[in-house]
Amino acid sequence: MQGRKRKPKSNREVSIIAPRLTAKTAVKASGGISRSKSITAVRNQANVEDFSHKGTLLSGSSTSYRMSFSTGGLFVTESVALAKLYQAKLDWEEVKDFANDQKVLGFRTQSSSKRTVRELIARLQKLSNAELELLSEANKEEQALLLWLAVCRTYLFVAQFAIEVLQEHFLSLRMAVAHDDFDKFYDAKAEWNDALAQISPSTRAKLRQVLFRMMRESGILSKDGTLHPIFLPPAIKISIASHDPDGLSYFPGPKTDRGVR
**Three-state secondary structure call for residue 48:** coil
* 21 is a domain residue: yes
CATH classification of the domain holding 36: 1.10.3540.10
* 217 is a domain residue: yes
The reported pLDDT for the residue numbered 50 is 54
* 256 is a domain residue: no
* 258 is a domain residue: no
**Cα–Cα distance measured from residue 57 to residue 156, given in angstroms and rounded to the nearest whole number:** 7
* 261 is a domain residue: no
DSSP per-residue codes, 162-218: IIIIIIHHHHTT--B--HHHHHHHHHHHHTT-HHHHTS-HHHHHHHHHHHHHHHHHH
For helices 76-89 and 110-124, what crossing angle results, to 10°? 70
Q: What is the pTM of this model?
A: 0.78
Domain count, the chain: 1
**Cα–Cα distance measured from residue 140 to residue 204, given in angstroms and rounded to the nearest whole number:** 29
The residue type of 251 is F
* 188 is a domain residue: yes
**Cα–Cα distance measured from residue 144 to residue 217, given in angstroms and rounded to the nearest whole number:** 7
**Three-state secondary structure call for residue 138:** coil
Residue 23 contacts residue 76 (beta carbons within 8 Å): no
Neighbour tally for 258: CB within 10 Å: 21
The reported pLDDT for the residue numbered 53 is 64
* 190 is a domain residue: yes
Q: What is the pLDDT along the chain (261 residues), one digit of tens a residue?
A: 444 444 444 333 343 333 332 333 333 333 433 333 333 323 333 343 455 565 444 444 567 899 999 988 999 999 999 999 999 999 999 999 999 998 888 887 888 889 999 999 999 999 999 999 999 999 999 999 999 999 999 999 999 999 999 999 999 999 999 999 999 999 999 999 999 999 999 999 999 999 999 999 999 999 999 999 999 999 999 999 988 888 999 999 986 444 443
* 58 is a domain residue: yes
**Cα–Cα distance measured from residue 15 to residue 4, given in angstroms and rounded to the nearest whole number:** 25
Q: 129-153 b/e with 16+ CB inside 10 Å = b?
A: bbbbbbbeebeeebbbbbbbbbbbb
The reported pLDDT for the residue numbered 106 is 84
Domain assignment of residue 21, given as a range: 9-250
Phi-psi region of 123 (alpha: psi -120 to 50; beta: other; left: phi over 0): alpha
Start-to-end Cα distance in the chain: 44
